[in-house]
Amino acid sequence: MGRFGGKVALVTGSTQGLGEAIAVRLVDDGLSGLVVTGRNEERGAAVAARLNDAGCRTVFAAADLADPGAVGNLIDMTDREFGRIDVLVNAAGDTQRGTVDDTTVDLFDHLTAVNLRAPFLLMQGAIRLMRREGIEGSIVNIASVAAHGGPPYLTVYATTKGALVTLTKNVANSVLWDRIRVNVMNIGWTDTPGEHAVRTGFHAGDEGWLEKAEASQPFGRLLKTSEVARAVAFLASDESGMMTGAAVDFNQIVVGCIAVQHPPSDD
């Protein structure tokens, strides 16, 4: 049956990239019901069909997370289709660039809506459903190591992810006695379709960015979505025990330390 047998999950951003990898991992681990969501209806329908074929009842709901009404509809749809929710993974995020100099009010509001307000509303709705059904559920939010402080062009993005970490800890504290666990993962630089689009668009259109980026990293590569998905599945499962309110850095650079030279010097 697997560690998610009999359970239902909602995974945002699951039409591609990390969200899709997380959805696939949960299904591989025996998930019984799943709501896939994102803005791309063609990809969403394809992902849902593939996971249905894999043995998990999967439905797709198109949603723009900048719209609070659409966010609420995701919880309502999960309730209508399955009558419960055991796992919520807030994997969707918008990484549009914006510095302190050039960020507009509209961009600031959009990034805040997608990266912070949407996860809050989804947690709010999922917790209400979990409480109603007496479910000791699990919520995993995807943040970023940029929450500790990012490059200038990620000023607003990094701020929303830092706020998501704080939100996670406060929500976890609020639902302790419901035995609902809420954790957040700060992921590092990851090889995703979204990152490719940004790198070839915003960053001078360099089609060879990945090879150069991977050569610059200690492990010789960027994080891959499948390995991050394994860690998310651990946090979402009973294997992580009573772990709640945790902010886990999943990165190959140690935050707060000066990067060592390669090869390390004797100095």
The residues that are catalytic are 157
CA distance 28 to 209: 31
Q: Are 187 and 251 in contact (CB under 8 A)?
A: yes
d(CA 83, CA 60): 16
Q: Are 149 and 134 in contact (CB under 8 A)?
A: no
Half-sphere exposure of 263 (CA within 13 A, CB side): 1
Phi-psi region of 222 (alpha: psi -120 to 50; beta: other; left: phi over 0): beta
